[in-house]
Amino acid sequence: MISNYRYTLITIISRDIIRQGKIVYFLFISVLISAVFVVIITHNTRLLIIQREQLFIARIALDVEWRNLLLEENVLGDHIRIEQIAIKKLHMQYIDPCKENILIK
């Protein structure tokens, strides 16, 4: 008699693996493990690429800020500006050469 029992795919595969031997089982497990590692490594690679891009964007922003600070330093350290601040705010003035006293040791 023919039985009407239906086998599931998992039972068919497991029976086949048991019948064929341990080498096929070992190779199957090896393929699954290597596939999992490929997925993990690909995911980590993508995360590192994203982090590299974020660091590159931060580097560009810091470079722009550094250039702006250099410009600001040049403007604030200009001799003419310092002289104007000294004359206006501190009421400093140039010494007349006639009123100048020179000390000699």
DSSP SS3 for 37: helix
Cα radius of gyration rounded to whole Å, the chain: 40
Could you tell me if 12 and 19 are in contact, meaning their C-beta atoms sit under 8 angstroms apart? no
Q: What global pTM score does this model have? A: 0.52
12-16, 29-33, 87-91, 101-105: which is most confident: 29-33
Tell me the pLDDT tens digit for each residue of 10-29.
888 888 777 777 777 788 89
Domain chopping of the chain, boundaries: 9-99
pLDDT value of position 26: 83
Q: From the CB of residue 28, how many other CB atoms can be counted at a distance below 10 Å?
A: 13
pLDDT for 78 equals: 80
Angular region, 21: left φ>0, alpha ψ -120 to 50, beta rest: left
CA dist 52 and 47 (Å) reads 9
Flag whether pLDDT at 9 surpasses 80: yes
The pLDDT tens digits of the residues spanning 36-70 come to: 999 999 999 999 999 999 999 999 999 999 999 99
Residues 17 and 25 sit within 8 Å (Cβ to Cβ): yes
